[in-house]
Amino acid sequence: MSSLTVTGLTKAFGATQVLDGVDLHVPAGSLTALLGPSGCGKTTLLRLVAGFDDPDRGVVALGDRIVVGAGRGVPAPKRGIGFVPQEGGLFPHLSVTGNVTFGLPRRQRADRARVRELLALVGLDGDLADRSPNQLSGGQQQRVALARALAPEPSIVLLDEPFSSLDAGLREETRQAVSTALAATGATAVLVTHDQAEALSMADQVAVLRGGRLVQLTDPRTLYRRPTDLDVAAFVGDAVVLDADVRDGVASCVLGRLAVAGEQPDGPARILLRPEQLRLSAPSPTALTARVSAVDFYGHDSRVRLDLPGGGTVAARLGGVDLPAVGEQVAIEVTGSALAFPAAGPVPEPAV
Amino acid sequence: MLRPRVGELLWNTTRLVLGTVAVCAVLGVGAAWLVERSSVPGRRLWHVLLVAPLAVPAFVNSYAWISLLPGLDTYAGALLVVSLSYFPFVYLPAVAAFRGLDPALEETARGLGLSGWAVFRRVQLPQLRVAVLGGSLLVALHLLAEFGALQMLRYPTFTTAIYDQYRSTFNGPGATMLAGVLVLLCLLLLLAELRLRGSRGYAGSGRGAARPVRPVALRGWTAPALLVLAALVGLALLVPLGSLAYWLGSGASAGLDGADLAVTTGSTLALAAAAAALTTAMALPVGWLAVRARGRIATLLERAAYVGSSVPGIVVALALVTLSIRATPWLYQTVPVLLAAYAILFLPRAIVTVRAAVEQSPPLYDDVAASLGSSGADRLRRVTLPLLAPGLGAGAALVFLAVVTELTATLLLAPTGTATLATAFWSASSALEYGAAAPYALVMVLLSAPATVLLSRDTRRGLTP
């Protein structure tokens, strides 16, 4: 297992600049999620690392070994990189065994015990070994694809939206199996995804890509709590964004006076709260009162949308019990501190 | 002096091509829909029976009909006989296309309130367009090149006229002029196909698990559908086989030279196998480039193969005769020249199937194999070829089938003293010795049969789920 270092990676397809000077370091043994909306260049980045395409500029290094850039170009078969494509990409003409042992030296391909071991690693029964790929469920196909990628003990594993084609229940189960297998092998892994929940829950660090550039690289908690700008904030979770005036570390806004985390110069600003920071209670004369305009009930939790008296709406995230009714008046309290951002720039659409 | 003759030939050829293409398209698409998408009983059996006419060469089919009904030497007779011989060329790609259709599209259309007929017309037919056009083009080109069947039906077209000219004046200006007009016709056809097809390919996103399609219930229409299929199979298969059996019986009394038949069969097999291997090997890079490196050069290569082969066998043979006599007299009437003619004539058949197979194996598999440490040559052996094998096999089978029954070019180019089944059959039946011709026809049918079964199975299993 080795680390992955990408420096100044640039790639254009025709006139379209897909990657624009991306720097990224993935420590050995960690799982890094590449998060971004469709078309942000994350899959291209993965393909450049794997060696399926060549970058226009920039360097990719595995550990100390430069695989592309600085006048070197190691072809894909010599890189020792495991690749798990979307929907598995299992070879249709080979059985599960044939797929899993594809990357092993010829002598080891007949080793049934090794196949069982690899299937067990991804949480699959050894009885599947003789099936053909079209006899497997989507989740099983993904796991076999991971076993196939892990079999030659690659220095790093790349996963390209491996769960996006699975339905919700299967996705969670497959995610856990993949996490477990990656942890058990201590593999360095890069996971491409456009699903922020997947990135936050699985990864050790998250790299947010936007328009071909890396906008933030940090651990999931910091990403959620201290996003680098309001766009990232709205992309990684629901956001409550309000205009405010900051004086001496306190922001005055429609929800009252809120403590601001970190250094922030005095003056007008936009502040960010997360919906779960809003608490609702019975109306009282001292607190701000708002009207409930809608309740989205999800079972495990719910989102309550509130019309503020001065105009504007905010959303609060509550538990699944004790929900207010639509039309009810409630008092809003804020827990924790707000994050302040410069006032310039358009308001991001709240993530739904 | 030739001008009214050219006009007459042009009229004969055009109306036969238009009529046959129309009949074949209706028969091919209709039968494909019944077999693939309807509840008609015995769909697997019907599929084999509908491909089976390919095992009976058109000139054997026409010999079978004309020897029973000498009055068939009319336009209607020619239309009937060649349509029955050629409709599988539309049927096969239509079946493959029906199988490749995403049922979700039809369900979506139904959900939007379209009736069954509207779904066929507005959703399925547009997607079948490429397959049906390709099949129709094959039918039309075959017809322009058809010599044996039409000569036997005494229906004069350019090809038969060229042959007669060649026989009487060897390589005179008359034959060359007629050949020029014929080649122009073929090129016109190719251009028309090019414009109709458009440059757009159908791209599917997602290769999810295959869902079996629920066949359309025919209910009260089951009996008529069965009747139509039975009539088609009866006319296209039972009539020629029955006629052949009849002539075999009456010819047996005349005595059969077994050794002659064995030698002829052997040389035919060897020629067909060599041509199939050569042609498929040539089709592989062309089909590959046409899909993976879509661009001017790839298209040019593919089109060049089509243009070369759209030239009828009689013209290719004449050209090779002239060329080998002028440039390489030591090659004149040798096997390499004959193989070259086969390769020129049958390359597109192999390309069509190879190309389809390449389309079925996306570059993703190549990437995955590369990431697993597999080198270029290793990938070719372990991924690409196995994935393409069904397509390559089908392509080789098509070429093999074509060579076993090739008549025109073989008549002109075969080394002196070398007879193939087709030429031996031809010399007997031209002399109206129907009984003596029958054994050769039978061997041709028997040899073609396995390749035909293979063909029907390949689309049945195929790479498409």
The alpha-carbon gap from A128 to the nearest alpha carbon of chain B, in Å, equals 17
Q: Are B370 and A85 inside 8 Å of each other by CB?
A: no
In this structure, which topology does domain A238-342 adopt according to CATH?
A: OB fold (Dihydrolipoamide Acetyltransferase, E2P) (2.40.50)
> Looking at residue B206, what is its pLDDT?
44
Helix/strand/coil percent split, chain B, to 5? 80, 0, 20
Q: Are B382 and A102 inside 8 Å of each other by CB?
A: yes
- pLDDT, one tens digit per residue, over B233-285 is 999 999 999 999 999 888 765 666 778 889 999 999 999 999 999 999 998 88
Cβ of A138 under 8 Å from any chain B Cβ? yes
pLDDT band (50, 70, 90) for residue B200: very low
> Looking at residue B327, what is its pLDDT?
85
Pick the CATH number of A4-231 from 3.40.50.10860, 3.30.465.10, 3.30.70.3280, 3.40.50.300: 3.40.50.300
Question: For chain B, how big is the Rg over CA atoms in Å?
Answer: 23
First to last CA, chain B: 59
Number of residues assigned to chain A? 352
**In the A/B pair of chains, how many CB contacts fall below 8 A?**
71
Token representation of residue B251: 């010819």
Q: For residues B400 and B405, what is the distance between their CA atoms, to the nearest angstrom?
A: 9
Q: Are A102 and B369 inside 8 Å of each other by CB?
A: yes
Nearest CB among B367, B372, B463 relative to A92 is that of B463
The alpha-carbon gap from B206 to the nearest alpha carbon of chain A, in Å, equals 8
Question: What average pLDDT is seen over chain B?
Answer: 84
Per-residue pLDDT, averaged over A71-84, amounts to 88
The alpha-carbon gap from B304 to the nearest alpha carbon of chain A, in Å, equals 29
pLDDT band (50, 70, 90) for residue B103: confident
Token representation of residue B298: 């790839």
Q: For residues A229 and A216, what is the distance between their CA atoms, to the nearest angstrom?
A: 9
Evaluate if residue A346 carries a pLDDT over 60: no
Q: For residues B222 and B213, what is the distance between their CA atoms, to the nearest angstrom?
A: 18
From chain B, the residues in CB contact with A76 under 8 A are 367, 370-371
CATH code linked to domain B1-199+224-252: 1.10.3720.10
From chain A, the residues in CB contact with B369 under 8 A are 91, 102
> Looking at residue B202, what is its pLDDT?
47
Per-residue pLDDT, averaged over B219-226, amounts to 89
Q: Which residues contact A89 (CB under 8 A, 6 or more apart)?
A: A145, B364, B365, B368
Q: Phi and psi of A293, rounded to 5°?
A: -100, -25
Are the folds of B1-199+224-252 and B254-465 the same?
Answer: yes
Evaluate if residue B191 carries a pLDDT over 90: no
Domain residue extents for chain B: 1-199+224-252, 254-465
From chain A, the residues in CB contact with B386 under 8 A are 93-94
Q: For residues B147 and B426, what is the distance between their CA atoms, to the nearest angstrom?
A: 11
pLDDT band (50, 70, 90) for residue A351: very low
Per-residue pLDDT, averaged over A1-26, amounts to 91
Q: Are A152 and B465 inside 8 Å of each other by CB?
A: no
pLDDT band (50, 70, 90) for residue B189: confident
Q: Are B367 and A82 inside 8 Å of each other by CB?
A: no
pLDDT band (50, 70, 90) for residue B23: very high
From chain B, the residues in CB contact with A152 under 8 A are 372-373
Per-residue pLDDT, averaged over B53-75, amounts to 91
Question: What average pLDDT is seen over chain A?
Answer: 89
The alpha-carbon gap from A125 to the nearest alpha carbon of chain B, in Å, equals 21
Per-residue pLDDT, averaged over B148-164, amounts to 91
pTM of the model: 0.72
Per-residue pLDDT, averaged over B354-370, amounts to 85
- pLDDT, one tens digit per residue, over B135-149 is 888 899 889 889 999
From chain B, the residues in CB contact with A93 under 8 A are 386-387, 389
Q: Are A89 and B368 inside 8 Å of each other by CB?
A: yes
Cβ of A131 under 8 Å from any chain B Cβ? no
Share above pLDDT 70 across residues of chain B, in percent, rounded to a whole number: 91
Domain B254-465, CATH 1.10.3720.10 — does that match? Answer: yes
Q: Are B210 and A134 inside 8 Å of each other by CB?
A: yes
Cβ of A82 under 8 Å from any chain B Cβ? yes
Picking from A90, A91, A108, A144 by the largest number of B CB atoms within 10 A of its own CB, the best residue to mutate is: A91
Evaluate if residue B295 carries a pLDDT over 80: no
Picking from A46, A78, A83 by the largest number of B CB atoms within 10 A of its own CB, the best residue to mutate is: A83
